[in-house]
């Protein structure tokens, strides 16, 4: 059976950071034909109604039909501690994160939080995430199992730490390699799931552990590798003390085989000139986490990097202060304004969809609406509250209508979500 989803259909034919807003394509009276897990056709509603006369029709009027949001950097184990008060990065880890992650030694608790987290983000239009788990293999099993039940595309990995973490949250170079390899072989490529090699960050991994994970990545080059880079200035000073032999923070990864295409670095706020140049040369990806960077006081990401690198967008749950990619787009706009960089709504929406897909190197499957792509979709009400409705009523074009939802929208704006061709509500 074919499903026809009608509305204002937004897709991208290029990169709006390179081409401007013209990279976005909007069909005002549009339709998306979904057959099984994939998009079969995109076009004018009248044309697709004629082409698929027996289709089930879901008519959303002037609502916006978009690819589902893609959250490219999260810590699902921090779901329960989101919006905790008053800490910067290192204090945050010691006060909130590590005590909460200790609880994931209990597989039942990991399962509870994994299901809660995915339900929270799906309700906000996010259909794909890339998440860190904890050091416990059961935490990886829990999030992959929960995603598989929902038919979601999901990236995840065991978080590896062999120093500067409490008892019960440290592994070793050997066990990090062994556990990660076993989990990779169990989950990678199964349904819509992908394993990601995941050292938390250099301060919690010895060079030996980073080297072991670099070796695992060399053995499985089709996987991604995710970690953190240059988030706060005191973190960078700590890395300098821990790795006196390294040229800079990025070099702590590069020296151990953890820099190439497929490397995904969260934050990357305080980069040196050498680090910027090497990231570009290596073809790595960066993920902008604006609500986290302001909430924890890290700094302001330089969005000009999007002209040179694959840059995605993320809530960074739970250092980020919400689960919503709409709120994250709003924060990205505000951060850019503080740096004198005005982002167009087409660029903000692209970061949360195709930009994040490119950062995770799955842009051939998700992130835009086109025939053959996986049918992960979100339908957005552009008049979901009285405040937003009165702003969109004055809009002279689509982007003026979309921007108030970016800045003021929440889960009330999410009218419908489709995951792998199945309507979830």
pLDDT tens digits, one per residue of 117-167: 999 999 999 999 999 999 999 999 999 999 999 999 999 999 999 999 999
**Any residues with CB less than 8 A from the CB of 366 and at least 6 apart, and which?**
67, 68, 70, 127, 128, 153, 357, 373, 374, 376
Q: Half-sphere exposure (CA, 13 Å, Cβ side) for 79?
A: 22
Given a cut of 80, is residue 89 above it in pLDDT? no
Strands 24-35, 2-12: pairing is antiparallel
pLDDT value of position 359: 98
The rounded distance, in Å, linking the Cα atoms of 358 and 288 is 13
Mean pLDDT score, 301-317: 97
Whole-number percent of the chain with pLDDT over 70: 100
Mean pLDDT score, 170-196: 98
In the chain, count of helices (H) and strands (E)? Answer: 17, 16
In the chain, where are the structural domains located?
2-68+367-423, 69-359
Given a cut of 80, is residue 387 above it in pLDDT? yes
Structure tokens at 3: 């499903």
The rounded distance, in Å, linking the Cα atoms of 264 and 250 is 12
Q: Choose which CATH entry (3.30.70.260, 3.50.50.100, 2.30.40.10, 3.40.50.12280) describes domain 2-68+367-423.
A: 2.30.40.10
Mean pLDDT score, 174-192: 98
Partners of 130 in beta bridges: 155
Give pTM, 2 decimals: 0.98
Cβ neighbour number for residue 107 with a 10 Å cutoff: 14
Given a cut of 80, is residue 337 above it in pLDDT? yes
pLDDT value of position 222: 97
pLDDT value of position 399: 96
pLDDT value of position 91: 87
Structure tokens at 216: 């695992």
Place of tokens 């979309």: 402
Q: Does residue 207 contact residue 213 with C-beta atoms inside 8 Å?
A: no
Given a cut of 90, is residue 408 above it in pLDDT? yes
Cβ neighbour number for residue 244 with a 10 Å cutoff: 6
pLDDT value of position 87: 74
Confidence of residue 85 (pLDDT cuts 50, 70, 90): confident
* Helices 137-150 + 173-187 axis angle, to 10: 20
Given a cut of 80, is residue 88 above it in pLDDT? no
Mean pLDDT score, 237-257: 98
Given a cut of 90, is residue 86 above it in pLDDT? no
Q: Is 388 exposed, middle or buried (0-12, 13-18, 19+ CB in 10 A)?
A: buried
pLDDT value of position 13: 94
The rounded distance, in Å, linking the Cα atoms of 265 and 286 is 5
Q: Does residue 75 contact residue 131 with C-beta atoms inside 8 Å?
A: yes
Structure tokens at 224: 């991604």
| CATH superfamily of the 69-359 domain | Metal-dependent hydrolases (3.20.20.140)
Mean pLDDT score, 337-355: 97
Given a cut of 90, is residue 92 above it in pLDDT? no
Mean pLDDT score, 9-18: 97
Q: Which of 189, 187, 74 is nearest to 121 (CA)?
A: 74
Place of tokens 């903000």: 348
pLDDT value of position 269: 98
Whole-number percent of the chain with pLDDT over 90: 96
């Amino acid at each position: 059976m074919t499903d026809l989803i009608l509305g204002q259909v937004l897709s991208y034919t290029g990169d709006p950071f390179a081409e401007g807003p013209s990279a976005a394509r909007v069909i005002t009276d549009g339709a998306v034909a979904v057959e099984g897990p994939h998009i079969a056709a995109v076009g004018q509603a009248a044309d697709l109604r004629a082409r698929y006369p027996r289709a089930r029709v879901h008519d959303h009027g002037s609502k916006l039909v978009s690819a589902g949001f893609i959250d490219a950097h999260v810590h699902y184990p921090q779901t329960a501690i989101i919006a905790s008060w008053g800490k910067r990065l290192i204090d945050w880890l010691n006060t909130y994160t590590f005590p909460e992650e200790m609880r994931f030694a209990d597989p039942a608790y990991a399962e509870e939080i994994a299901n809660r987290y995915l339900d929270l983000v799906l309700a906000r239009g996010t259909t794909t995430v890339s998440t860190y788990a904890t050091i416990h293999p059961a935490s990886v099993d829990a999030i992959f199992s929960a995603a598989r039940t929902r038919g979601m595309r999901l990236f995840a990995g065991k978080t590896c730490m062999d120093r500067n973490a409490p008892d019960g949250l440290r592994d070793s170079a050997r066990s990090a390699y062994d556990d990660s390899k076993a989990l990779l072989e169990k989950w990678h490529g199964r349904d819509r799931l992908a394993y990601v090699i995941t050292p938390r960050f250099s301060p919690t991994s010895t060079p030996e552990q980073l080297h072991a994970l670099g070796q695992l990545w060399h053995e499985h080059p089709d996987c991604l590798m995710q970690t953190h880079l240059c988030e706060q200035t005191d973190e960078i000073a700590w890395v300098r003390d821990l790795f006196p032999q390294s040229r800079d923070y990025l070099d702590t990864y590069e020296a151990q085989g953890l820099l190439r295409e497929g490397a995904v670095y969260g934050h990357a706020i305080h980069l040196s000139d050498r680090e910027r140049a090497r990231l570009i040369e290596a073809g790595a990806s960066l993920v902008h986490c604006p609500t986290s960077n302001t909430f924890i006081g890290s700094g302001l990401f330089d969005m000009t990097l999007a002209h040179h690198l694959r840059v995605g967008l993320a809530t960074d749950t739970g250092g980020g202060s919400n689960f919503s990619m709409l709120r994250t787009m709003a924060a990205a706009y505000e951060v850019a304004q503080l740096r004198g960089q005005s982002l167009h709504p087409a660029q903000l929406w692209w970061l949360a969809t195709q930009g994040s897909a490119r950062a995770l190197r799955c842009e051939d499957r998700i992130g835009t609406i086109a025939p053959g792509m996986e049918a992960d979709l979100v339908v957005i009400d552009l008049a979901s509250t009285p405040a937003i409705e009165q702003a969109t009523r004055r809009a002279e074009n689509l982007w003026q209508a979309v921007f108030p939802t970016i800045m003021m929208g929440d889960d009330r704006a999410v009218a419908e979500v489709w995951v792998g061709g199945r309507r979830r509500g």
